[in-house]
């Protein structure tokens, strides 16, 4: 392991060499024994100590009792509103509800336009159906193919 690699790994695995992956541990200790490696390791340790002492774990005064109290039957909602009811959920519900309603209504009741198209179809093809009935099966197949937009010249 070169010194550059050692320094790069310090950023990935931290300054506690005991926590490094076993396959890197031996080479890391060799690198750390050099002057440059030792200096890099000390700088990394100082940096980690600086961050750790600036963000100490806060004391959990009474928090455990408060959480347990929330489990009691009839305990009121002790949760802040932003945690109990995320805003996006209510917004999403408001946005989706009209869409769902429109979808249901659209399928439940045919529109006037649909009814009009049905009437036109009946009027347009009623004579065709009558001819089919009169002419028999052969004529009926040819007529149906034409009505579907297919050519008779296949």
77 contacts 84 by C-beta, under 8 angstroms = yes
- Contacts (Cβ under 8 Å, ≥6 apart) of 5: 31
Q: Compute, in degrees rounded to 10, the torsion defined by CA atoms 121, 124, 129, 134.
A: 170
With CB under 8 A as the contact rule, the residue among 22, 87, 89, 154 that binds other proteins is 87
Q: How far is the CB of 5 from other proteins (least distance, A)?
A: 13
Number of other CB atoms surrounding residue 42 within 10 Å: 12
Site for other proteins in 47-76 (CB under 8 A): 47-48, 50-55, 57-58, 60, 63-64, 66-68, 70-71
DSSP state of 154: -
C-alpha 106/C-alpha 121 separation (Å) is 21
Closer Cβ to other proteins, 38 or 79, answer by number: 79
Q: How far is the CB of 123 from other proteins (least distance, A)?
A: 59
What mask, x for binding other proteins by CB under 8 A, covers residues 134 to 153?
--------------------
List interacting residues with other proteins (CB under 8 A).
Answer: 8, 11-14, 19, 43, 46-48, 50-55, 57-58, 60, 63-64, 66-68, 70-71, 78-80, 82-83, 86-87
């Amino acid at each position: 392991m070169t010194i550059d690699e050692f320094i790069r790994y310090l950023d990935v695995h931290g300054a506690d060499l005991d926590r490094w992956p076993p396959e890197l541990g031996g080479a890391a200790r060799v690198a750390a024994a050099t002057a440059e490696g030792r200096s890099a390791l000390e700088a990394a340790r100082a940096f980690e100590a600086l961050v750790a002492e600036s963000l100490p774990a806060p004391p959990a005064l009474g928090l455990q009792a408060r959480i347990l109290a929330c489990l009691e039957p009839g305990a009121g909602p002790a949760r802040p509103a932003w945690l109990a009811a995320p805003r996006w959920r209510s917004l999403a519900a408001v946005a989706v509800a009209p869409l769902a309603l429109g979808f249901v209504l659209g399928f439940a009741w045919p529109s006037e336009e649909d009814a009009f198209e049905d009437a036109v179809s009946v009027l347009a093809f009623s004579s065709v159906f009558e001819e089919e009935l009169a002419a028999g099966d052969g004529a009926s197949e040819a007529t149906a193919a034409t009505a579907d937009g297919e050519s008779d010249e296949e």
